[in-house]
Chain A
């Protein structure tokens, strides 16, 4: 799932400075699940924005709407009437959703209200961690299902750097596990340490040609 987090309010306020009526648009999929841009967050952000502007004596009117997936034109199109009413759109969707919104309503400025951070999973209530870097060349079969590309701070393919901290923690953050120590432990448990002993040649960083495209079989 795509993880995002709200931008600093200062940035959002500045983006909205010129407008008196905006649509605060949420997305009902990934960013809802990671508490960044669902209906609840839309309500809070809109309210906070109104309070901020009213305190400045420069009221702003907000419309609120959340569609199921902002990365789908058909779903974003449902917002046509609301978009027509406003001067700008503040989107709480991931970068993909913001762009669909911007493309569909070309005459309206669309602003991102969240920073899209990574593909990840919830570790516990309210905490998400990065799991996948969408490299287009999956390596997980060789590492016991632990991605060293994103879970190792340096994205190393052939084992840990010399910076592993005591107890198998990461050089740059003692709260994070060294991915290669995790790989080691998992493979050891499975009796597959030979996988870790293998040499892996430099990665194909061009497995996905930017901008990426995936064509499914014609249905």
Chain B
């Protein structure tokens, strides 16, 4: 039985989580394989919610699989696909099945996904979603009706420390902190100074909240250029791109892993944040290599 994530956050000095990306289809064997590989090496497993607006096996279903296989799931919930009724119902179901960690997100726009003509919902935004989970935790639904059985979710959310302009983002973080979250997973960071400044900002508002730095290994110059160009809130500095460029052909993934591990070590040694959240979608099986190189195993 895995230690509840809330407990981990309270006690562990450096928290490590990673992600399991659900499959497109009903065959869950690969997800189960990844769960088996990772569940004992990390403190929590996030499951993305129709990530990048691409329809797939649900976050909720994958969280159940994690639970079944003895891992600690973190349910990602976005506001894009469900209105307030559906979100509340899903959360009730999740909690009833032992899923007690929820990461509250806005969600990508429908336009970036594979069902571009769908109606995007956004009945709520991420701040309202956090409030909603607190409401459920208090034993009521949004309309003020009593709920049977107790609910007690551990709530997290996300933030983008590298956004430009940063101030509007920080105001949003402020609102999320005021709403009350136990942990923040950041967008992928590459400039640790930016993260440092962000952490200082957060700490000033809330000393308790745990900051998990987002780690996305960059495995080549092309990917770096693409991310800089197309992924909002991500900034990969030139020196990292140069370092990748110097890596011999065919060793991009190893180089990316090496860089990520180096960053994780520094984050830990300098106590810049309280942990990391590693996102290596499509290469989940190589996450252990990062953990090993970072000295986290």
Task: Determine whether B140 belongs to the interface, using a CB cutoff of 8 Å to chain A.
Answer: no
Which residues from chain B contact A172 at a C-beta distance below 8 Å?
Answer: 109, 111-112
Task: Determine whether B169 belongs to the interface, using a CB cutoff of 8 Å to chain A.
Answer: yes
User: CA A157 – CA B108 in complex, angstroms?
Assistant: 16
- Among B89-126, those with CB < 8 Å from A are 106-109, 111-112, 120, 122-126
* Closest-CB distance, B14 to chain A (whole angstroms): 24
Kindly supply a per-residue 1/0 record for chain A positions 151-188, scoring 1 wherever the CB is within 8 Å of any chain B CB and 0 otherwise: 00111111111111111100110000010110110001
- B-side interface size class: 35 or more
* Closest-CB distance, B107 to chain A (whole angstroms): 8
From the candidates A155, A197, A200, name the one contacting B122 in the complex (CB within 8 A): A155
User: CA A216 – CA B230 in complex, angstroms?
Assistant: 49
Which residues from chain B contact A163 at a C-beta distance below 8 Å?
Answer: 108-109, 232-233
Which residues from chain B contact A197 at a C-beta distance below 8 Å?
Answer: 171, 174-175
Which residues from chain B contact A165 at a C-beta distance below 8 Å?
Answer: 232
- Say whether chain A's binding surface is mostly helix, strand, loop, or mixed: loop
How many residue pairs between the two chains, A and B, have CB atoms under 8 Å in the bound complex? 102
* Closest-CB distance, B43 to chain A (whole angstroms): 23
* Closest-CB distance, A83 to chain B (whole angstroms): 35
Contact between chains at B178 and A199 (CB < 8 Å): yes
Among the 9-residue stretches B160-168, B194-202, B280-288, the one with 4 or more Cβ atoms under 8 Å from chain A is B160-168
Which residues from chain B contact A180 at a C-beta distance below 8 Å?
Answer: 168
Kindly supply a per-residue 1/0 record for chain B positions 136-169, scoring 1 wherever the CB is within 8 Å of any chain A CB and 0 otherwise: 0000001000000000000000111001110111
Contact between chains at B175 and A162 (CB < 8 Å): no
Contact between chains at A158 and B169 (CB < 8 Å): no
Contact between chains at B108 and A164 (CB < 8 Å): no
Which residues from chain A contact B109 at a C-beta distance below 8 Å?
Answer: 153-154, 163, 171-172
- A-side interface size class: 20 to 34
Contact between chains at A159 and B171 (CB < 8 Å): yes
Which residues from chain A contact B142 at a C-beta distance below 8 Å?
Answer: 202
Task: Determine whether A121 belongs to the interface, using a CB cutoff of 8 Å to chain B.
Answer: no
* Chain B: CB-nearest residue to A155: B122
* Closest-CB distance, B6 to chain A (whole angstroms): 24
Task: Determine whether B131 belongs to the interface, using a CB cutoff of 8 Å to chain A.
Answer: yes
Contact between chains at B164 and A159 (CB < 8 Å): no
User: CA A181 – CA B164 in complex, angstroms?
Assistant: 10
Task: Determine whether A12 belongs to the interface, using a CB cutoff of 8 Å to chain B.
Answer: no
Which residues from chain A contact B160 at a C-beta distance below 8 Å?
Answer: 162, 164
Contact between chains at B128 and A167 (CB < 8 Å): no
Task: Determine whether A193 belongs to the interface, using a CB cutoff of 8 Å to chain B.
Answer: yes
Contact between chains at A168 and B165 (CB < 8 Å): yes
7 A-B contact pairs sorted by A residue (CB < 8 Å): A154-B122, A157-B128, A162-B187, A164-B164, A166-B164, A166-B232, A183-B168
Instruction: Name 10 extra pairs, CB < 8 A, besides A164-B165, A164-B232.
Output: A154-B80, A157-B128, A158-B175, A161-B126, A162-B232, A167-B164, A171-B232, A193-B171, A201-B128, A202-B128
Question: Which 6 residue pairs of A and B lie closest in terms of their CB atoms, listed nearest first?
Answer: A159-B172, A158-B127, A184-B168, A162-B160, A161-B106, A156-B125
